[in-house]
């Protein structure tokens, strides 16, 4: 059967390649690292005259910016995606543990007792938090851990981990990107995974450049 959408797609791609436009994407640093940064590295090939801005997530301000057209895409967990946005799933994410390569426990799988006895790093995007999804998972098992370092960015984790015996539990796509410098291990208990989605305002749904942007990102990740 003939694909009638192909000519439209080719015309759209040709239009974007010659367009001059700035795309603005909001996400956490971990999701930017896993998703939108990949698009940024290929933008010169896809659309050499376009630009891309990767911006930090702010739950209140971002919704206002989506409504006014200041932001094109919002990438985030399904649980944080505002119901007034149109949305599409990008990927499923789970968690892995990272520690320095020379860590005394790096050579064997983590069990629950060793994991709970370690001192932990937690990433709190809003800053200063010492309780997260790992603690909720441990509480369900009547266990707990000691979080001694709270960071506001996942990208600080390697520098802190590399010079200490601390352990961090981070999104798997980040952990795998650090395998050259850190040891990556499975967590010793089940930690709820999450779905990463991209959301956009209804006014941008039929815009050719916005359709192109969403499709390019989806093609890279799905």
- Condensed to tens digits (0 to 9), the pLDDT of residues 62-107 reads 888 888 999 999 999 999 998 989 999 999 999 999 999 999 999 8
Residue 1 has pLDDT above 90, yes or no: no
**Cα–Cα distance for residue pair 220/200, rounded to 1 Å:** 18
Q: What mean pLDDT comes out for the span 165-171?
A: 98
Task: Quote the pLDDT of residue 15.
Answer: 57
Q: Please provide the CATH number assigned to the domain covering 5-91+195-221.
A: 3.40.190.10
5-91+195-221 and 95-192 in the same fold:
yes
* 164 within 8 A of 118, measured Cβ to Cβ: no
**Cα–Cα distance for residue pair 140/150, rounded to 1 Å:** 22
Task: Quote the pLDDT of residue 12.
Answer: 52
Residue 9 has pLDDT above 90, yes or no: no
Q: What mean pLDDT comes out for the span 202-217?
A: 94
Q: Which CATH architecture has domain 95-192?
A: 3-Layer(aba) Sandwich (3.40)
**Cα–Cα distance for residue pair 102/40, rounded to 1 Å:** 34
pLDDT band at residue 13 using 50, 70 and 90 as cut-offs? low
**Cα–Cα distance for residue pair 46/17, rounded to 1 Å:** 6
What does pTM read for this prediction? 0.87
Q: Which is it for the CA torsion 21, 26, 30, 31, positive or negative?
A: negative
Where in the chain are the domains? 5-91+195-221, 95-192
């Amino acid at each position: 059967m003939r694909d009638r959408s192909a000519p439209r797609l080719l015309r759209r791609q040709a239009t974007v390649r010659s367009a001059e436009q700035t795309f603005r994407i909001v996400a956490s640093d971990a999701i930017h690292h896993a998703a939108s940064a990949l698009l940024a590295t290929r933008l010169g090939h896809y659309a050499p005259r376009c630009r891309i801005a990767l911006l930090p997530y702010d739950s209140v301000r971002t919704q206002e910016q989506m409504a006014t057209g200041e932001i094109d895409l919002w990438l985030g967990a399904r649980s944080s995606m505002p119901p007034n946005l149109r949305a599409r799933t990008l990927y499923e994410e789970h968690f892995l543990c990272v520690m320095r390569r020379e860590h005394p426990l790096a050579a064997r799988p983590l069990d629950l007792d060793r994991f709970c006895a370690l001192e932990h790093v937690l990433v709190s995007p809003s800053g200063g938090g010492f309780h997260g999804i790992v603690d909720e998972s441990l509480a369900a098992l009547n266990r707990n851990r000691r979080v001694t370092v709270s960071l506001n960015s996942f990208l600080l984790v390697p520098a802190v981990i590399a010079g200490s015996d601390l352990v961090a539990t981070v999104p798997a796509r980040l952990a795998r990107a650090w395998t050259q410098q850190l040891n990556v291990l499975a967590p010793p208990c089940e930690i709820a995974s999450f779905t990463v989605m991209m959301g956009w305002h209804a006014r941008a749904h039929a815009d050719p450049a916005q359709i192109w942007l969403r499709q390019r990102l989806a093609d890279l990740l799905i």
